[in-house]
Chains A and B, each alone.
Chain A
Amino acid sequence: MGLVLLVVIWLITLIGSYFIIAKTWWLPVGASAAAAAIDHHFTVSYILMGSVFILAQLALGWFAWKYRDRGAGSQPAHYSHGNTKLEVLWTILTIILFVGLNLASEPIWSSERLHGASPGAVQVEVTAMQFAWYFRYAGPDGKFGSTKPELEDASLGGAGALGLDSNDPSSKDDVISGVMVVPVNREIEVILRSHDVIHSFFVPAMRFKQDTVPGLAIHMHFTPIQTGDYELACAELCGLGHYKMHGIVKVVSDQEFSQWLAAREAEKQ
């Protein structure tokens, strides 16, 4: 029975680790400035935690076989209540491993979340509602027009869905889009809002996720470094259409972005 345990535990460990080492299913190619550092930290964590996982499982299987009861007359078990030195040693090693790993990741977190976007960042307001995403640009005046919950009407789409107050002069030039178009290599400041329940704005390729919470306007930032279409999806359970609540982040050149924005402005006139 000990031998069977050894074989099964070792096989599970081998097969389980294989798909991670082979990266059979893995993160999509990173398309934001932060992706490289985050992915690197993933790899470091995998190597360290993976080693602990493999060593512990190998030891478990090995001990199960090696120290099986070999029947009457064989050596009795070793009478020992432990070994303080060993226990202190592995406690210290574990503290170093866990705390060290944690500290190593803090600079990334700081730059992503503790510091606000730089003044020149492109601002996009992201509004979530059951079960759609809307993206708003402030327009030439650089100011978002005010919105009012009592004006919201999802069936109207666009400005109506957001409850944009047409009496506010700064709302006149606001551009509202169902696709998030952003320029490459520019920092994007997203202002995340929700009308109804909690949603979550998740763009795997940007290594970016943040809940959108009704009542809050959450400011976050990321910098796309590669043009292309990247899918976004809602990552927080928001109701029966949760699985359908997805969209596109379209990363284009700076010039294309300006053209697109200008064209949308023109449409409004």
Chain B
Amino acid sequence: MAGGTRGGEAITMVSHDAHAHAAPQGFIRKYIFSLDHKVIGIQYFFLALVAVLTGMFLSLLMRIHLVWPNAHLPIFGDIKPETYLSLLTMHGTIMVFFVLTTAPQGGFGNYFLPIQIGAPDMAFPVLNMLSFWTTFLGFLVLVAAFFVTGGAPLHGWTGYAPLSALPSAGPGEGLGADLWIISIAIFCIGALMGALNFITTTLDMRAKGMTLMRMPLTCWAWFITAILGLLAFGVLLSAGILLLMDRQLGTSFFVPLGTVNGVLTGHKGGSPLLWQHLFWFFGHPEVYIAILPAMGLCSQLLSVFSRKPIFGYKAMVYAIMAIGFLGFMVWGHHMFMSGMSPYSAFAFSIMTMGIGVPSAIKTFNWLGTLWRGKIRFSSPMLFAIGFVSLFVVGGISGPFLAQPVLDIYLHETYFVIAHFHLIMGVASIFGIFAATYYWFPKMFGRMMNETWAKAHFWLTFVGAYAIFMPMHYYGMAAGLRRYSQGTEVAWINALAPIQKFISIAAFITIASQFIFVINLFWSMKKGEKAADNPWEATTLEWITATPPPHDNFGGVTPVVHNGPYEYSVPGAPRDFVMQTDAEVGAKKH
């Protein structure tokens, strides 16, 4: 594994000496309990890789069950309706927490935030190590839910109470549900530690000359994402503890007087809607936690590979801030049909439509960056362009769901599934792919195979559309989500051909992901040796060695003179000006 071995002993730096630590000796301190943000970043990356393969495998079983409900699978046997619900619960939980939150922020953010701002490490290296191992523990606890009596919970990744609060409400709601809650609580603790670290690092550890408005948009995205994480995960953690108390200590935060199967639950006075408020107060910012890093990265890549400055840097920064800020005021749009006051729908709806504005600004600016550029179609760029396309299609369904009048019909249909998978799932994962192809050379010292990368792009891009576009149609015809079979309800049964098409598209797309996995491992060993700056990019990770030495810059503290996106500057000797190069004249556009 790369990172942290070159460059010898740590060098004392004027402003950062408190954070410099000696390069570790011995396998365990170097690779297992490492304090080096680069090693920790790679650990997060591989955790997310294991998680995404697990989550993808669960979706494969779901897609098989939806089309062939009676199929008898080798090893797994039959998939019963409740098994299907467990699969979707675990798929959602694994993907949201351990992939979409873990890879872009914990993985790439950890590795590249310190380097891009010119710091030798994160502000709190020990905390950083703890946050990874806490997250890792959370993953183990979650997966354990599959193997306990009753199996994994069936309450969905949103865990609506009372279903999630009452062991008698269904199979999997016993020990499996306890483990699910504990896992999320552990994850929250890890995420909170990470968030503190990212915020402090961004504010305190920037190199000389790296003003906030000279930070790459990736750093802005990680910074705002960390603030969102700090505010959101605390609430989820509290909600999880309350839910666990309802289950184990006989409290009634979320459970009112009622019965299951005619048997009194023993609770009274709780509010099922309280859980939804707390959950979505976390849950909506979580969407932005997943997508903001991808937005930052794709902004960066569109600029690098168009050989043009990013269009409207300041607008991009303010848009990220606006999305982060508004992201905390829109949670009620998940609850238009919940029984919440219909008056509040006005406020949540208008705020949600409002959040579309900065998102649209970003899209315009991405197109503006391509406009009159000189586009190089390397694999990271293909995924960045794919991201823009998916962001548009996933974003455009938002204003439907944001309007309570249309949500009356669309709520809980596949239209919602199409919407959030495209924007939060696939677009974010395109960000992760783009990041992998872009930064792999810096992380592992070798290039990934470009032919395979392109094959992977085309199959995944077309595949993603083939899977998720038809889900809009399924939802428009009122096809309901979380139905293990559509055979019982006549109008859903009539839509079976769409499900079949989606499943076949999913099988092909899932299979194509192995091109990526094989390319990843093959290139680590056999890939072509990478130059220090293979993409001719300007940000600080490209001025240092490949892979970077333990203290990132080999004893030199970089001094920054330029913004992050100075490409094709008229009169410059080459078409990119490094951030550390002499300052580009006070030219205006």
A residues engaging B (CB < 8 A)?
1-2, 5, 8-9, 12, 15-16, 19-20, 24-28, 38, 41-42, 45, 49-50, 52-53, 56-57, 59-60, 63-64, 67-70, 74-84, 86-87, 90-91, 94-95, 98-99, 101-102, 105-106, 108-109, 112-114, 130, 149-150, 152-155, 161, 163, 194-198, 200, 202, 204, 207-211, 213-216, 218, 231, 233, 235-244, 246
B160, B337, B373, B462: the one within 8 Å of A209 (CB): B337
For chain B, residues 399 to 431, give those with C-beta under 8 angstroms from any C-beta of chain A. Answer: 399-400, 402-406, 408-409, 411-413
Report yes or no: A114 in contact with B392, Cβ–Cβ below 8 A.
no
| Residue of chain B at shortest CB distance from A213 | B339
Complex CA–CA separation, A90 to B349 (angstroms): 21
Among listed B12-20, B242-250, B255-263, B539-547, interface-contacting one: B255-263
Complex CA–CA separation, A99 to B270 (angstroms): 36
Report yes or no: B262 in contact with A153, Cβ–Cβ below 8 A.
yes
Report yes or no: A109 in contact with B374, Cβ–Cβ below 8 A.
no
For chain B, residues 468 to 498, give those with C-beta under 8 angstroms from any C-beta of chain A. Answer: 469-470, 472-474, 476-478, 480, 482-486, 488-492, 495, 498
For chain B, residues 356 to 371, give those with C-beta under 8 angstroms from any C-beta of chain A. Answer: 356-357, 360-361, 363-365, 367-368, 370-371
A5–chain B nearest beta-carbon distance, Å: 6
Interface size class of B (residues with CB under 8 A): 35 or more
Report yes or no: B345 in contact with A12, Cβ–Cβ below 8 A.
no
Q: List 29 A-B contacts (CB under 8 A).
A: A27-B476, A28-B478, A50-B396, A60-B370, A60-B388, A67-B371, A69-B377, A75-B374, A76-B307, A78-B371, A80-B309, A81-B312, A82-B312, A83-B311, A83-B312, A102-B353, A102-B399, A109-B404, A130-B170, A149-B258, A200-B412, A202-B478, A204-B409, A233-B492, A235-B480, A237-B155, A239-B163, A240-B154, A242-B85
Report yes or no: B272 in contact with A53, Cβ–Cβ below 8 A.
no
Residues of B within 8 A of A149 (CB): 257-259, 264
Complex CA–CA separation, A52 to B400 (angstroms): 13
B29 interface contact, C-beta 8 A: no
B147 interface contact, C-beta 8 A: no
B residues engaging A (CB < 8 A)?
80-82, 85, 154-156, 160, 162-163, 166, 169-171, 255-262, 264-265, 270-273, 306-313, 315, 337-339, 342-343, 345-346, 349-350, 353-354, 356-357, 360-361, 363-365, 367-368, 370-377, 382, 385, 388-389, 392-393, 396-397, 399-400, 402-406, 408-409, 411-413, 458, 461-462, 465, 469-470, 472-474, 476-478, 480, 482-486, 488-492, 495, 498, 567-570, 575, 589
Residues of B within 8 A of A60 (CB): 367, 370, 385, 388-389, 392
B80, B361, B397, B491: the one within 8 Å of A28 (CB): B491
Report yes or no: B312 in contact with A74, Cβ–Cβ below 8 A.
no
Residues of B within 8 A of A98 (CB): 353-354, 356-357, 399
Report yes or no: A78 in contact with B373, Cβ–Cβ below 8 A.
yes
Residues of A within 8 A of B307 (CB): 69, 76-77
Residues of A within 8 A of B349 (CB): 102
Residues of B within 8 A of A204 (CB): 409, 478, 491
A216 with B258, Cβ < 8 A, contacts A56-B367, A198-B162, A243-B81 known: no
Residues of B within 8 A of A26 (CB): 476-477
| Most chain A beta-carbon contacts within 10 A, residue among B256, B373, B377, B478 | B478
B49–chain A nearest beta-carbon distance, Å: 27
| Residue of chain B at shortest CB distance from A78 | B372
Complex CA–CA separation, A158 to B314 (angstroms): 65
Report yes or no: B154 in contact with A105, Cβ–Cβ below 8 A.
no
